[in-house]
Amino acid sequence: MICPKCELEFIDSVAVCPDCGEKLVSKEEFEGNLVHPSDWVVVYTTSENYEAEMFKANLLGAGIDSLILGQKDRNYPAVGDLAVIKLLVKKDDTENALEIINDINSRKDINNEE
Ligand SMILES: [Zn+2]
């Protein structure tokens, strides 16, 4: 369990942060809420979910955490309606992630030409 305010971890039997009184959340929940747009960079957009999943798997294989966001809500200013699925990585991983994505894409192009 983690306090979302203090970002401190507690044992499971603790329900409320002893420091600030904030309700503790599970680690998964905390990490899910940790997606601050400023920490994450969109490295790829696609309309195909399988493609996003494929890149995510490849990035994970290289030790890079990534997130897939399916932006379908209308409140979000969409850049091109078709590219609704976004692949995000942490800022620090941007360069490596782009390299991997470009590598996969260039191999794909070669295959298509044959
Ligand atoms: Zn706290």
Q: How far apart are CA 90 and CA 105, in angstroms?
A: 21
CA of 67 to the centre of ligand 1 (A): 27
Looking at residue 81, its pLDDT comes to: 53
Could you report the per-residue pLDDT of 40-83, keeping only the tens digit for each? 889 999 888 889 999 999 999 999 999 888 755 445 555 555 55
Inform me whether the pLDDT recorded for 38 exceeds 80: no
CA of 7 to the centre of ligand 1 (A): 7
CA of 10 to the centre of ligand 1 (A): 10
Q: Residue 45's domain is classified under what CATH number? A: 3.30.70
Q: How far apart are CA 31 and CA 98, in angstroms?
A: 23
Residues 29, 61 within the same domain: no
Q: How far apart are CA 11 and CA 17, in angstroms?
A: 11
Residues 22, 50 within the same domain: no
Q: Which residues pair with 88 in a beta bridge?
A: 42, 67
Domain that holds residue 71: 37-113
Could you report the per-residue pLDDT of 1-17, keeping only the tens digit for each? 889 888 889 988 889 99
CA of 68 to the centre of ligand 1 (A): 29
